Structure 1
Amino acid sequence: MPQQISTDIPNCHLQFAQEEDIPLILGFIRSLAEYEKMADEVVATEKLLKEKLFGEQQYAEVLLAFYDEEAVGFALFFHSFSTFEGRPGIYLEDLFVKPEFRGKGIGTALLKSLAQLTIERDCARLEWSVLNWNTPAIDFYDSLDAKPLDEWTTYRLTGEALQKLASF
């Protein structure tokens, strides 16, 4: 059984995901995509998650949140690297708590645990992105004193554009 990470919330604990949690992780990914109105963009499969999260090369880690033993949220993250700091960072790719469990402090518990992990691993920072329209998330992050980096614009290459550049 995975080690449980206690929280300040009664009946709530966190734990690192194990391979047997893949269906649960994929379910959270799909729920998040539905919330973000991007359900048609999910191409992840259990097979892909097994290979990329628990295979020979592990590209990311997942923290799961449980409330009364029910899985209610997750945080998927990976290490980045700051050349200016000369140290790694943690990048939070996705954070999701089931709607009926929001407002109980579970999202804060996940972020607090990631902040502690960031410090334990001697990382320089904890970063993430949020969709501009997601005001509930923005308000939540603002309440934690997280600061938006308005001077940066995210760029992305995927699909044909990625293939085109790779073969240039």
Structure 2
Amino acid sequence: MTFRLANSDDMPVLLELLDMLFAIETDFTFDAEAAQRGFELMLQDSERSAIWLAEDEGRIVGMCTGQITISTAIGARSIWVEDVIVRPEYRGQGLMPLLLGELEKWGRERGVKRLQNLCDLHNAPALSFYAKRSQQTELICFIKLLD
């Protein structure tokens, strides 16, 4: 298993993995065009955004995305972890913590002091994963789409 940053050639598999994630996270509806625009923006801003991939013998089997933001609560840079997904047949093999570890290392190199993420209330595998790692939520997220 190898881990690497995504590039524009990976777009088809990025879209496939995000579609797989949104099938679990019912708060979101997959829109391939919007997702591609988002991934393109992330790939163009490689100092503040990262898309880490897990690759098994040439096949992309997992993805973790993050974007650097500023936290006034801690007075430092923070990574907003947005999309973490591992193909079902690769789950339970420790890939999620490894992907998040790559994102964490990338962030530390950029002065990041905290990782934060959202998880859909219907995403049972992710909720279980984070609970096992003593991560607790104290927040409620409200979203307003702007035209």
Q: TM-score, normalised by structure 1?
A: 0.75
Percentage of pairs with the same residue: 26
Shift in alpha-carbon separation, 1:83–1:34, aligned structure 2, 3 A: same
Instruction: Give 2:107's aligned residue.
Output: 118
| Aligned ranges 1:7-156 → 2 under 5 Å | 12-37=1-26, 41-45=29-33, 48-49=37-38, 51-55=40-44, 60-149=49-138, 152-156=139-143
Shift in alpha-carbon separation, 1:118–1:32, aligned structure 2, 3 A: same
Unpaired runs of 5+ residues, structure 1, are 1-11, 164-168
Shift in alpha-carbon separation, 1:64–1:52, aligned structure 2, 3 A: same
The answer as to whether partners of 1:91 and 1:128 remain within 8 angstroms in 2 is: yes
Q: Residues 65-116 of structure 1, C-alpha deviation per residue, up to 9 Å, x if partnerless?
A: 1123311010111011111322110011010000111001111111122222
Unpaired runs of 5+ residues, structure 2, are none
Shift in alpha-carbon separation, 1:113–1:49, aligned structure 2, 3 A: same
Structure showing greater Rg: 1
- Following the alignment from structure 2 to structure 1, what is the Cα–Cα distance between the partners of residues 91 and 24? 13
Q: Residues 106-161 of structure 1, C-alpha deviation per residue, up to 9 Å, x if partnerless?
A: 11111122222232222120010112232321221122232322xx2211111xxx
- Following the alignment from structure 1 to structure 2, what is the Cα–Cα distance between the partners of residues 157 and 110? 29
**Amino acid in the other structure paired with 2:61:** V
Cα deviation, residue 50, structure 1? 5.9
Cα deviation, residue 49, structure 1? 4.4
Greater relative contact order (CA < 8 Å, ≥ 6 in sequence)? 2
